[in-house]
Amino acid sequence: MSLEKYQTELIEHGMSAGALKFGTFTLKSGRTSPYFFNAGLLASGPVLDTLCSAYAATIADALKSSPGLPQFDVLFGPAYKGIPFAAGTALLLHRDHKIDVGFAYDRKEAKDHGEGGITVGSPIKGKRVVILDDVATAGTAIRGAIETVKREGGEVVGAVLMLDRQEVGKEGKSSIAEVEELLGGKGRVPTILKMKDLMRWLQEHGRTEELAKMQEYWEQYGAKDQA
């Protein structure tokens, strides 16, 4: 199965921006990974266009899938990286897919003047919310965002990710499967890219040494329920 055009463009733009690298990297989890994706470096107009177009296409496809994302009202981008990603994706959902949703994000510190509160943007109280995040390894960031939205009175009905590392979490299941259970079941956490997509790209471009290291890492840490 070949990659979608937006998946290939995101991989190649990510590499040219220095955001996606293959090599040897120590993760927060302590694991030594053969690749690393730093979404904070996706910081130019063309790259942001590529990323947000991919988020928007992934969301639009997931809304038409079964099981998939349910209808929702607000995209929530956790500060700080999630802020431009959520804004850009909401714009492209409207322009390219005729899907109209609000966007919101959180402050690192609650504001005690003006409108106050911990969230900014479209009101989320009583709304159906989809969280937009970058890379899921352990799922910690998504869980934190779910708590923020709940605290503000919103209902989290799904999440969309840039990259699923497809790794086994602490409970022996993939972190995505664990978050899907929190959000109501399979299909609630669509992703633009999975580790297996990166491996497919390496294979298609004859990068056998990097592919072998990715395969070795998959054998050790890969969530086989997602293979």
Q: Determine which one of 5, 94, 111, 186 is catalytic.
A: 111
Hey, is 131 helix, strand or coil? strand
Is 113 one of the annotated active-site residues of the chain? Answer: yes
Exposed/middle/buried for residue 226 (C-beta within 10 Å: 0-12, 13-18, 19+)? middle
101: amino acid identity, one letter: V
Nearest CA-CA partner of 226 in 184, 183, 195: 195
- Structural tokens at position 123: 């009101």
Q: Determine which one of 28, 98, 108, 113 is catalytic.
A: 113
Is 97 one of the annotated active-site residues of the chain? Answer: no
Taking only Cα atoms into account, the Rg of the chain, rounded to an integer number of angstroms, comes to 17
> Residue 123: is the preceding peptide bond cis (ω within 30°)?
no
Task: Name the residues annotated as catalytic.
Answer: 111, 113
